[in-house]
Amino acid sequence: MEPAGTIVFASVGVTNFGFDVFSATVPAPTSAEAGVSAEDLDERRHTDGISVNFNAQFADDAGDAVAFVSERTGAASLFLSRPGSEPDPLPAAEGSLFHDRPTVRGGRVYFVSAHEKPDRPFRSWAAVYAAELGAGRERNPEPQPQRLTPRGVVDMSPAVSASGDLLAVASYGDRPWAFDFRALETEVAVFRASDPSRRAVVAARGGWPAWHGDAALFFHRAADDGWWSVFRVGVSPDTLQPTGPERRVTPPGLHCFTPAAPARGGGRWIAVATRRKGRAQRHVELFDLETQRFSPLTELLSPGLHHYNPFFTPSGGRVGYHRFRGAGAPGDSLVPHLQPVRSPVRSIRMLRVHGTFPSFSPDGAHIAVNGDFFSTPGVSVLRSDGSRRWTVSKEPDLFYTTWSPTERGVVFTSKGPIFETPKATVRIARVEFDPADLTDDGRGEGEVRATVRPLTRPEAGNDAFPAVSPCGRWLVFRSGRTGHKNLYVVDTARGEEGGVRRLTEGEWIDTMPSWSPDGSLIAFSSNRHDPANPAVFSIYLVRPDGSGLRRVYVAGAEGSAEADKERINHVCFSPDSQWLLFTANLGSVVAEPISGPNQFQPYGDLYVCRLDGSDLRRLTCNAYENGTPVWGPASAGLGLESLSMGPPSGEDALGQFDEPLWLTCDV
């Protein structure tokens, strides 16, 4: 049978972004030196406030038409926005869950898509494609996009010259992924749109290229002194070879990345996103190539907001970027409790939750979730259509949730700090409330009275990730009480007072257990096959009595190099106990992480496979970290029809997200 049901999961940050695309007038260099005001910059909004809109390029020189990426369809899709009209979908790859960086040139749209599976795991799916517009599309209404990236090669961040003849990309080439996910070890390659098979590498290290005419490229990379900086290299349009050595353009002392330049060349300005000491926000600044001076741009307009990924009109008259649309701005204004996400499997419904570690109530009518572990309520309950939320426990230091299948109003969780050492005090806890308090008297927010009762001793160490047996009597959980994290079982009512049974034992990490709905198996993540490596985890299955332990090989067969590169966590079972759902690193990354807000593990995507590791299917493909999934009945979430960030119900936290936490100005 096909995998079926409703999957609810979390993605880092994306529900809070609230991005729209804006642009501002580029001042003349003399005006910039004399000082400009916000009014002089004439900021315009190009997108409509629906969902998350980002990574745009102008489609005309007047600065009116904009090609952009939007999450409004439940996945990253391409649109064209013109003043006074609804955004029009751009031709793209049918069925693709990820599109990026669209550029309209010469009757074609160029973009990144990730719809073609590589021939081996741990390879990015990202490649560059082109599709016809206008007359070319009228002759063939449903043309398949042309793949410009050679088979076996990974390309991202494409830039198209003003003539439309040349493309530049950040590329891994045909090299395997080195498991880099902060500063990617990409090279800058160029090729002709008419002959994409003939490529030349013009910079051995770099990303996010931007054409300046047809004979020069700007790009970024982390310099040897630790500062992200913009570099320039000349390119011969005839041979595609560098015309000289690359040259650093921006100085040390601040981070400069995601450069943009007028594609037709000329002018003194380039635009860069910057991070400076003493300033928390990412801003777009103009850099004068003659005077070597920066001029503020977005800091004059919205000093308290982050601004991302500048782009110019071809002649350089306007510069665009995306940012949080702002409190009170027209458009979606709430973070939805639940948001539909496009599923590549027809029999699976997918929902993104605003929260972490969701779990379904036994009847599928409600979902328990955690907050951010620091300031938001520790346990909340959602109606499974997303229309109502109740706070159950305001204590923020709670993580993981699992409902009792036999006791009404009982949720198990972990109480204490997350991501701590084996001997840190974290306790398994039982949360009890009256389900009658989950009243159906309206929409929005509510609060119910609850008690939180620990089930494990404080001196026992790090006890976390409880999973309840289908009979409701037992909890399996991870504990560091011996100095190593292994699995244990306790009574759901009495906890350690009723005794503790050890399920696994060893000097490695066994964690995040999940009990199969039919009661026959417990799945968990472990690095027992390579205990010295805390970065590799694979799926293991064991019977509740501790017998029948076996590994599920997903990336490759036993003994293969691929099998021992797996980083698989958050495993759980399908409702029929025949499939496994998990988050994994199997698909590498599809976009440059420096170009967006913080993602702890941007390679984290959701997959399903059968209990023997066969029939692997990818469920998510995007630039976010996706994790903490739960698999519930097909009926859960019915009634959720809006794919936007507004109705049916949500939280007023739009615009609250982090810059990359690994990016520091303490260089």
Residues 478-497 pLDDT 10s: 999 999 999 999 999 999 99
Residue spans per domain, the chain: 335-642
End-to-end C-alpha distance for the chain, whole angstroms: 55
pLDDT classification of 144: cutoffs 50, 70, 90:
confident
Q: How confident is the model at residue 463 (pLDDT cuts 50, 70, 90)?
A: very high
Q: What does the pLDDT average to over 348-372? A: 96
Q: Is 140 exposed, middle or buried (0-12, 13-18, 19+ CB in 10 A)?
A: exposed
CB 341 within 8 A of CB 74: yes
pTM of the model: 0.95
Is pLDDT above 70 for 23?
A: yes
Tell me the per-residue pLDDT of 531-575, one tens digit each, with 9 for 90 and over.
999 999 999 999 999 999 999 999 999 999 999 999 999 999 999
Output phi, psi for 474, to 5 deg: -125, 150
Give the C-alpha separation, 89 to 131, whole Å: 12
Mind giving me the DSSP string for 595-631? GSS--S-TT-EEEEEETTS-S-EE---SSS-EEEEEE
**pLDDT given for residue 139 in this prediction:** 56
Place 358 in a pLDDT band, splitting at 50, 70 and 90. Answer: very high
- What is the rounded CA–CA span in Å between residue 645 and residue 20? 13
Per-residue pLDDT band for 643 (boundaries 50, 70, 90) equals: very low
The answer to whether residue 460 scores a pLDDT higher than 60 is yes
Q: Does domain 335-642 have CATH number 2.120.10.30?
A: yes
What's CA 180's distance to the chain center, in Å?
A: 16
| pLDDT surpassing 60 at residue 138 | no
Above 50 in pLDDT, residue 317? yes
| pLDDT score at 119 | 94
pLDDT at 647: 45
Residue 32's pLDDT is 66
Residue pair 273/298 in contact by the 8 Å Cβ criterion: no
Q: What is the pLDDT of residue 141?
A: 59
pLDDT of 261: 97
- pLDDT in the model for residue 648: 44
Q: How confident is the model at residue 653 (pLDDT cuts 50, 70, 90)?
A: confident
Predicted pLDDT at 143: 67
Those residues with Cβ within 8 angstroms of residue 203's Cβ, 6 or more apart along the chain or in another chain: 187, 188, 217, 219, 221, 231, 233, 242, 246
* pLDDT tens sequence across 575-619: 999 999 999 999 999 999 999 999 999 999 999 999 999 999 999
What is the reported pLDDT for 136? 55
Phi and psi angles of residue 199, each rounded to the nearest 5 degrees, phi first = -125, 155
> How does residue 312 score in pLDDT terms, banded at 50, 70 and 90?
very high
